Structure 1
Amino acid sequence: LEEPEDSAIRVTGDTLYTSATTFEDLNISQDLLKGLYVEMNFKAPSKIQAVSLPMILTEPFKNLVAQAHNGSGKTTCFVLGMLSRVDPKRKAPQALCICPTRELAIQNRGVLLEMGQYTGITSVCAVPMDSTK
Protein backbone atom coordinates (compact mmCIF):
# COMPACT_ATOMS: atom_id res chain seq x y z
CA LEU A 1 0.00 0.00 0.00
CA GLU A 2 1.22 3.45 -0.83
CA GLU A 3 0.48 6.06 1.82
CA PRO A 4 -0.44 9.55 0.57
CA GLU A 5 2.24 12.12 1.40
CA ASP A 6 -0.17 14.22 3.44
CA SER A 7 -1.47 11.35 5.57
CA ALA A 8 -0.89 12.14 9.20
CA ILE A 9 -2.02 10.02 12.13
CA ARG A 10 -3.35 11.87 15.14
CA VAL A 11 -4.17 10.13 18.40
CA THR A 12 -6.13 12.09 20.98
CA GLY A 13 -6.58 11.40 24.65
CA ASP A 14 -4.38 9.55 27.09
CA THR A 15 -2.81 6.47 25.57
CA LEU A 16 -0.44 3.79 26.80
CA TYR A 17 -0.13 2.24 23.35
CA THR A 18 2.81 2.21 20.99
CA SER A 19 2.81 1.73 17.24
CA ALA A 20 3.51 -1.67 15.73
CA THR A 21 6.33 -1.78 13.21
CA THR A 22 5.68 -5.44 12.35
CA PHE A 23 2.68 -7.74 12.68
CA GLU A 24 4.76 -9.86 15.07
CA ASP A 25 4.75 -6.87 17.47
CA LEU A 26 1.01 -7.50 17.92
CA ASN A 27 1.41 -10.93 19.58
CA ILE A 28 -1.22 -12.55 17.37
CA SER A 29 -1.35 -16.26 16.57
CA GLN A 30 0.97 -17.87 14.04
CA ASP A 31 -2.13 -18.87 12.04
CA LEU A 32 -3.20 -15.23 11.71
CA LEU A 33 0.34 -14.16 10.83
CA LYS A 34 0.42 -16.82 8.12
CA GLY A 35 -2.89 -15.53 6.75
CA LEU A 36 -1.55 -11.97 6.65
CA TYR A 37 1.72 -12.89 4.97
CA VAL A 38 0.78 -15.85 2.74
CA GLU A 39 -2.84 -15.20 1.78
CA MET A 40 -2.90 -11.41 1.86
CA ASN A 41 0.74 -10.79 0.86
CA PHE A 42 1.27 -8.16 3.55
CA LYS A 43 4.81 -7.06 4.35
CA ALA A 44 4.29 -4.62 7.24
CA PRO A 45 1.42 -2.73 8.88
CA SER A 46 0.16 0.39 7.12
CA LYS A 47 -0.01 3.65 9.11
CA ILE A 48 -3.60 3.10 10.24
CA GLN A 49 -2.80 -0.52 11.17
CA ALA A 50 0.39 0.39 13.04
CA VAL A 51 -1.46 2.87 15.24
CA SER A 52 -4.89 1.25 15.67
CA LEU A 53 -4.09 -2.47 15.96
CA PRO A 54 -2.24 -2.16 19.31
CA MET A 55 -5.34 -0.36 20.66
CA ILE A 56 -7.72 -2.96 19.20
CA LEU A 57 -5.73 -5.98 20.41
CA THR A 58 -4.65 -4.84 23.89
CA GLU A 59 -6.73 -4.98 27.05
CA PRO A 60 -8.58 -3.12 28.37
CA PHE A 61 -10.60 -3.20 25.15
CA LYS A 62 -12.24 0.13 24.34
CA ASN A 63 -14.24 1.64 21.53
CA LEU A 64 -12.19 3.06 18.69
CA VAL A 65 -13.12 5.48 15.92
CA ALA A 66 -10.60 5.56 13.08
CA GLN A 67 -10.69 7.37 9.77
CA ALA A 68 -8.34 6.76 6.84
CA HIS A 69 -8.24 6.82 3.05
CA ASN A 70 -9.75 4.04 0.92
CA GLY A 71 -7.35 1.12 0.59
CA SER A 72 -5.38 2.06 3.70
CA GLY A 73 -6.09 -1.15 5.64
CA LYS A 74 -9.07 -0.33 7.85
CA THR A 75 -10.88 -3.59 7.05
CA THR A 76 -7.79 -5.54 8.05
CA CYS A 77 -7.80 -3.74 11.41
CA PHE A 78 -11.42 -4.58 12.03
CA VAL A 79 -11.20 -8.21 10.91
CA LEU A 80 -7.91 -8.93 12.69
CA GLY A 81 -9.37 -7.57 15.91
CA MET A 82 -12.38 -9.84 15.54
CA LEU A 83 -10.43 -12.99 14.56
CA SER A 84 -7.89 -12.54 17.34
CA ARG A 85 -10.62 -12.84 19.99
CA VAL A 86 -12.32 -15.92 18.56
CA ASP A 87 -11.46 -19.30 20.10
CA PRO A 88 -11.31 -21.76 17.16
CA LYS A 89 -11.89 -24.70 19.52
CA ARG A 90 -15.24 -23.34 20.63
CA LYS A 91 -17.85 -24.28 18.03
CA ALA A 92 -20.39 -21.57 18.75
CA PRO A 93 -21.04 -18.04 17.47
CA GLN A 94 -18.46 -15.69 19.02
CA ALA A 95 -18.50 -12.56 16.89
CA LEU A 96 -21.04 -10.52 14.98
CA CYS A 97 -20.22 -7.98 12.29
CA ILE A 98 -23.05 -5.65 11.32
CA CYS A 99 -22.47 -3.74 8.08
CA PRO A 100 -24.54 -0.92 6.56
CA THR A 101 -24.40 -2.38 3.03
CA ARG A 102 -24.44 -5.78 1.36
CA GLU A 103 -21.22 -4.94 -0.48
CA LEU A 104 -19.36 -4.11 2.73
CA ALA A 105 -20.61 -7.30 4.40
CA ILE A 106 -19.35 -9.38 1.48
CA GLN A 107 -16.01 -7.50 1.46
CA ASN A 108 -15.50 -8.01 5.20
CA ARG A 109 -16.23 -11.73 4.93
CA GLY A 110 -13.80 -12.04 2.02
CA VAL A 111 -11.04 -10.48 4.11
CA LEU A 112 -12.01 -12.69 7.05
CA LEU A 113 -11.78 -15.83 4.91
CA GLU A 114 -8.35 -14.86 3.55
CA MET A 115 -6.88 -13.75 6.85
CA GLY A 116 -8.42 -16.63 8.80
CA GLN A 117 -7.51 -19.29 6.21
CA TYR A 118 -5.26 -21.22 8.63
CA THR A 119 -7.24 -20.72 11.86
CA GLY A 120 -10.10 -23.19 11.43
CA ILE A 121 -12.55 -20.35 12.13
CA THR A 122 -15.74 -20.48 10.08
CA SER A 123 -18.10 -17.67 9.14
CA VAL A 124 -21.45 -16.98 7.54
CA CYS A 125 -22.50 -13.90 5.60
CA ALA A 126 -26.22 -13.37 6.17
CA VAL A 127 -27.28 -10.91 3.48
CA PRO A 128 -29.92 -11.20 0.77
CA MET A 129 -28.11 -11.87 -2.50
CA ASP A 130 -31.02 -10.79 -4.72
CA SER A 131 -30.76 -6.99 -4.77
CA THR A 132 -34.40 -6.63 -5.88
CA LYS A 133 -35.67 -7.84 -2.49
Structure 2
Amino acid sequence: MRICTRRLTAGLFSAALVGSALAIAPTAQAQAPAAAASCYDFANPYTKAAGDVDLPAGRLFSTSTACADINIKPNTNRYIKVCFETQGRLDCQANYTLAYAGQWNTIATNVRDGALFVFSFRSDARSTGSWAA
Protein backbone atom coordinates (compact mmCIF):
# COMPACT_ATOMS: atom_id res chain seq x y z
CA MET A 1 0.00 0.00 0.00
CA ARG A 2 1.48 3.36 -1.01
CA ILE A 3 1.18 6.09 1.62
CA CYS A 4 1.27 9.78 0.80
CA THR A 5 3.14 11.87 3.37
CA ARG A 6 2.76 15.61 3.99
CA ARG A 7 4.69 17.60 6.59
CA LEU A 8 2.97 19.70 9.26
CA THR A 9 4.81 22.81 10.36
CA ALA A 10 5.50 23.21 14.08
CA GLY A 11 2.98 26.04 14.38
CA LEU A 12 0.32 24.13 12.51
CA PHE A 13 0.94 21.03 14.65
CA SER A 14 0.57 23.09 17.87
CA ALA A 15 -2.61 24.68 16.56
CA ALA A 16 -3.82 21.24 15.52
CA LEU A 17 -3.50 19.85 19.01
CA VAL A 18 -5.39 22.79 20.50
CA GLY A 19 -8.02 22.63 17.74
CA SER A 20 -8.55 18.90 18.16
CA ALA A 21 -9.32 19.41 21.83
CA LEU A 22 -12.01 21.90 20.84
CA ALA A 23 -13.41 19.60 18.15
CA ILE A 24 -14.23 16.87 20.66
CA ALA A 25 -15.60 18.93 23.51
CA PRO A 26 -18.12 16.79 25.43
CA THR A 27 -21.82 17.50 25.16
CA ALA A 28 -24.67 16.46 27.38
CA GLN A 29 -25.38 13.67 24.91
CA ALA A 30 -21.75 12.49 25.04
CA GLN A 31 -22.09 11.93 28.79
CA ALA A 32 -24.87 9.36 28.32
CA PRO A 33 -24.09 5.70 29.07
CA ALA A 34 -21.99 4.24 26.24
CA ALA A 35 -23.93 0.95 26.20
CA ALA A 36 -27.11 2.74 25.08
CA ALA A 37 -25.45 4.83 22.37
CA SER A 38 -24.10 4.08 18.92
CA CYS A 39 -21.12 5.65 17.21
CA TYR A 40 -23.39 7.90 15.14
CA ASP A 41 -25.03 9.33 18.27
CA PHE A 42 -21.79 11.30 18.70
CA ALA A 43 -21.66 12.61 15.11
CA ASN A 44 -20.35 16.10 14.43
CA PRO A 45 -21.51 18.41 11.63
CA TYR A 46 -18.89 19.69 9.19
CA THR A 47 -18.53 22.37 6.54
CA LYS A 48 -15.51 22.28 4.25
CA ALA A 49 -14.99 25.60 2.52
CA ALA A 50 -14.55 25.84 -1.24
CA GLY A 51 -10.85 25.92 -2.09
CA ASP A 52 -9.82 23.58 0.74
CA VAL A 53 -9.11 19.88 0.26
CA ASP A 54 -8.48 19.00 3.92
CA LEU A 55 -11.08 19.03 6.68
CA PRO A 56 -10.52 20.54 9.15
CA ALA A 57 -8.25 23.09 7.47
CA GLY A 58 -5.19 23.77 9.63
CA ARG A 59 -6.32 21.53 12.51
CA LEU A 60 -6.86 17.86 13.30
CA PHE A 61 -9.81 15.77 14.42
CA SER A 62 -9.41 13.07 17.08
CA THR A 63 -11.05 9.66 17.31
CA SER A 64 -13.08 8.81 20.41
CA THR A 65 -13.96 5.71 22.39
CA ALA A 66 -17.45 5.77 20.81
CA CYS A 67 -16.34 4.47 17.39
CA ALA A 68 -13.84 1.90 16.15
CA ASP A 69 -13.91 3.38 12.63
CA ILE A 70 -13.79 6.81 10.98
CA ASN A 71 -17.11 7.54 9.26
CA ILE A 72 -18.47 10.38 7.17
CA LYS A 73 -21.95 11.23 5.86
CA PRO A 74 -21.62 13.90 3.15
CA ASN A 75 -24.61 15.74 1.70
CA THR A 76 -23.29 15.08 -1.84
CA ASN A 77 -21.18 12.22 -3.23
CA ARG A 78 -17.49 12.88 -2.49
CA TYR A 79 -14.18 11.05 -2.90
CA ILE A 80 -12.47 11.13 0.51
CA LYS A 81 -9.47 9.58 2.24
CA VAL A 82 -8.09 9.91 5.77
CA CYS A 83 -4.65 11.28 6.63
CA PHE A 84 -3.31 10.41 10.09
CA GLU A 85 -0.90 12.59 12.07
CA THR A 86 2.28 10.61 12.71
CA GLN A 87 5.30 12.28 14.31
CA GLY A 88 4.44 15.76 13.02
CA ARG A 89 3.40 14.80 9.50
CA LEU A 90 0.28 13.55 7.75
CA ASP A 91 0.34 9.98 6.41
CA CYS A 92 -2.53 9.54 3.97
CA GLN A 93 -4.36 6.47 2.74
CA ALA A 94 -3.22 5.57 -0.78
CA ASN A 95 -6.72 5.65 -2.33
CA TYR A 96 -9.85 7.75 -2.09
CA THR A 97 -13.15 6.14 -1.07
CA LEU A 98 -16.37 7.21 -2.76
CA ALA A 99 -18.58 8.41 0.09
CA TYR A 100 -22.23 8.38 -0.92
CA ALA A 101 -24.55 11.27 -0.11
CA GLY A 102 -27.00 10.94 2.77
CA GLN A 103 -25.57 7.72 4.21
CA TRP A 104 -22.78 6.73 6.58
CA ASN A 105 -19.57 5.67 4.85
CA THR A 106 -16.61 4.06 6.64
CA ILE A 107 -13.36 5.63 5.44
CA ALA A 108 -10.91 3.98 7.89
CA THR A 109 -11.44 0.88 10.05
CA ASN A 110 -10.08 -0.35 13.39
CA VAL A 111 -8.59 3.01 14.35
CA ARG A 112 -7.14 3.46 17.85
CA ASP A 113 -8.80 5.86 20.30
CA GLY A 114 -7.24 9.33 20.30
CA ALA A 115 -5.79 9.07 16.79
CA LEU A 116 -5.39 12.51 15.14
CA PHE A 117 -6.54 12.82 11.53
CA VAL A 118 -7.98 14.94 8.74
CA PHE A 119 -10.32 14.07 5.91
CA SER A 120 -8.71 14.75 2.53
CA PHE A 121 -11.18 15.42 -0.28
CA ARG A 122 -10.27 14.87 -3.92
CA SER A 123 -12.25 17.97 -4.86
CA ASP A 124 -11.79 21.47 -3.47
CA ALA A 125 -15.56 22.15 -3.84
CA ARG A 126 -17.54 23.14 -0.74
CA SER A 127 -18.87 20.16 1.20
CA THR A 128 -21.17 19.71 4.18
CA GLY A 129 -22.37 16.75 6.22
CA SER A 130 -21.47 14.87 9.40
CA TRP A 131 -18.58 12.75 10.66
CA ALA A 132 -18.16 10.28 13.53
CA ALA A 133 -14.99 8.70 14.83
Which structure features the higher share of strand residues? 2
Higher RCO (Cα < 8 Å, 6 or more apart): 2
TM-score of the pair, normalised by structure 1: 0.31
TM-score of the pair, normalised by structure 2: 0.31
Which structure features the higher share of helix residues? 1
Indicate the structure (1 or 2) with the bigger Cα radius of gyration: 1
